[in-house]
Amino acid sequence: MCSSCDRSSLSVSRRGFLQTAAVAAAGAPLAHAVAAAAPPVALRDKPEAVVQCVFLYPSTASLEEAGYYSWPGSGFDAEGRQQDYTRRLDALGRQLGMRIAVEANPVSSDEQAAAIIARVKQAPPDGLLIIPFAKAQWGNASRIAQESGCPSVVFAPLGVALVDHINQLRTKPGVYLVNSLEESGLESGLRAIRARRRMRDALLLNIVGKEAPETTVPFWGTTIRTIPHRRFYDVFKNTALDESVRKLAQDYRRHAKEIVEPTGDDILEAARAYYALRRLVEEEKADALMMDCLPGLKRPHQHVPPCMGFMTLRDEGIPAGCQADLNPTLTLMLVQELFDLPGFQQNASMDTERNLYFGAHCTSPSRMNGPNSAAEPYILRSHAEAGWGCVPRVLFKEGQPVTMALYKPGEKPQMLVYTGSIVDCPKIPPAGGCRTNVTVAFDDMKDACDVKGMHQIIFYGNHGRALRAFCQLHGIEAIA
């Protein structure tokens, strides 16, 4: 897929945020206040993604001798451009936490291309970055991308490739094509390689009825570690009402636009639930969690609704999936890794009269633009279905572009991908359903009832092209 039109201005990763959050300024909004109340979560050491980069072009001296240059033309200093790109790739690799190994010698012959392919097959990196600086070498660029068996980002500056070259690769599985001067597309391609590697290395903590052996998620390779509800119950009951808990509860109250049902004690207990969840994440050194969160809310109550804790974890860049639903949680993790954005997991419905999608759940991130962004306003409410406790009703921006996605496993993995814009957050009452809600007008959708899935992930920004490009790169069928 050609992805040069996608931009991601969110270059601060969860890791970067968690490493700097402890020094957030006094008086900053909620997520900074939370970080100041507790040091950043310690992350497991994991290998960095490795990308092999190869340039393709004949030497300028050989072109001068031939007396004809073809595209990109006689004024294109390929050797100088390689030096410049190498410096920028080194900086980008440090920014993204990746190792980009650049081949010093450019490929200019079929034999050299074959040697690169053989080497990659013998010791595969996480991905290839292929940068052609000559139209005449497009065939070798295409050959390396398709024959190496390695996910390949092909980045060509404008003025190198013609339309037939672009169309040769833009829809090829295993290829992420960027034909542009916009280096945001290059960064998006590298993020797509990094995200897949980080998903494979990730540990997902699963809190359910009873303990179970560790498992590995097919396709992704993510490790699932399951612990019993009883452990969470015990940690929650043993979490003291200390200064950190009281500070967080104070922040919840102070930043709330309105408090409807919850009492001061309800808000304190919600803050305790966050610290209980956080402790489990730290003890297991998890990258994300999911929890079968409804059984403990029934009588006899085992814990308060963990929804405020889920909000704060997601605001900090830690994906937290509701109801131990694996595929939405994997989608939350992917969106966090790919775009540095949290997501809103929700129950699917429709407003048939307005022909709008309607989604609702009793938790959502408030920092929908990422950990260092301003929080959206929220109202503190009781849990809609349990009728007690403290949960957030986050009020999303009207007119905000959004993407909705959901991973679907199978012999051929799929990803639901929709883009659109927020219309409103219907008032409660008269609307029923969960406390955080939203209506969305999806692009190119004649009938809102045609939207597929349940517990899909809604996140800010139109990232449909980049997400589809990720899917093409890694063998996932993007559908709508």
Q: Could you tell me how far CA 189 lies from the centroid of its own chain? A: 13
pLDDT band at 196 (very low <50, low <70, confident <90, very high): very high
In whole angstroms, give the CA distance from residue 289 to residue 300: 24
Sorted by sequence, the CB contacts under 8 Å of residue 209 that are 6+ apart come out as 228, 229, 292, 295
Q: Which two tokens stand for residue 374?
A: 């301003």
Q: Which two tokens stand for residue 44?
A: 């497991």
In whole angstroms, give the CA distance from residue 182 to residue 177: 12
pLDDT tops 80 at residue 21: no
Sorted by sequence, the CB contacts under 8 Å of residue 399 that are 6+ apart come out as 421, 422
**Residues 158, 206 within the same domain:** no
> Mean per-residue pLDDT for 314-342?
98
Question: Number of C-alpha atoms within 13 angstroms, CB side, residue 122?
Answer: 6
> Mean per-residue pLDDT for 413-432?
98
pLDDT tops 90 at residue 207: yes
> Mean per-residue pLDDT for 390-395?
99
In whole angstroms, give the CA distance from residue 171 to residue 161: 16
**Residues 419, 305 within the same domain:** yes
Q: Which amino acid is at 189?
A: G
The residue out of 198, 231, 251 marking a domain boundary is 198
Which pLDDT does position 41 carry in this prediction?
A: 66
Tokens 């290998």 — which residue? 47
> Mean per-residue pLDDT for 331-341?
98
pLDDT tops 60 at residue 5: no
Among 34-43, 95-104, 215-224, 454-463, the least confident range? 34-43
**Residues 252, 366 within the same domain:** yes
* Residue 73's CATH number: 3.40.50.9100
Phi, psi (rounded to 5 degrees) for 463: -115, 20
Q: Which carries the bigger pLDDT value, residue 42 or residue 394?
A: 394
pLDDT tops 60 at residue 14: no
**Residues 226, 318 within the same domain:** yes
In a domain, 6, yes or no: no
pLDDT tops 90 at residue 417: yes
**Residues 276, 422 within the same domain:** yes
Which pLDDT does position 250 carry in this prediction?
A: 98
Q: What is the pLDDT of residues 208-259, one digit of tens each?
A: 988 889 999 999 999 999 999 999 999 999 999 999 999 999 999 999 999 9
**Residues 79, 96 within the same domain:** yes
- The DSSP bridge pattern shows strands 175-179 and 152-156 to be parallel
Mean pLDDT of the residues in the chain: 92
> Mean per-residue pLDDT for 91-120?
97
State the total domains in the chain: 2
Looking at the DSSP assignment, which residues form a beta bridge with residue 349?
358
What is the end-to-end Cα distance of the chain in Å, rounded? 16
Assess contact for 195 and 334: CB atoms under 8 A.
yes
Q: Which two tokens stand for residue 50?
A: 């490795």
**Residues 221, 151 within the same domain:** no
**Residues 214, 257 within the same domain:** yes
In a domain, 91, yes or no: yes
In a domain, 3, yes or no: no
pLDDT band at 205 (very low <50, low <70, confident <90, very high): very high
Could you tell me what percent of the chain has a pLDDT over 70? 91
In whole angstroms, give the CA distance from residue 71 to residue 76: 9
Which pLDDT does position 2 carry in this prediction?
A: 54
3-state helix, strand, coil in the chain (%, to 5): 35, 25, 40
b (16+ CB within 10 A) / e for 362-396: bbbbbbbbbbbbebbebbbbbbbebeebbbbbbbb
In a domain, 5, yes or no: no
The residue out of 148, 177, 198 marking a domain boundary is 198
Give the structural domain span for 176: 49-198
Closest CA to 351 of 451, 420, 456: 451
In whole angstroms, give the CA distance from residue 263 to residue 407: 38
In whole angstroms, give the CA distance from residue 359 to residue 378: 17
Which pLDDT does position 450 carry in this prediction?
A: 97
**Residues 179, 223 within the same domain:** no
**Residues 131, 152 within the same domain:** yes
pLDDT band at 22 (very low <50, low <70, confident <90, very high): very low
pLDDT band at 98 (very low <50, low <70, confident <90, very high): very high
In a domain, 4, yes or no: no
In a domain, 86, yes or no: yes
**Residues 168, 246 within the same domain:** no
Among 122-131, 219-228, 290-299, 354-363, the least confident range? 290-299
In a domain, 1, yes or no: no
Among 63-67, 185-189, 196-200, 425-429, the least confident range? 63-67
**Residues 125, 218 within the same domain:** no
pLDDT tops 50 at residue 78: yes
The residue out of 198, 223, 243 marking a domain boundary is 198
> Mean per-residue pLDDT for 341-370?
98
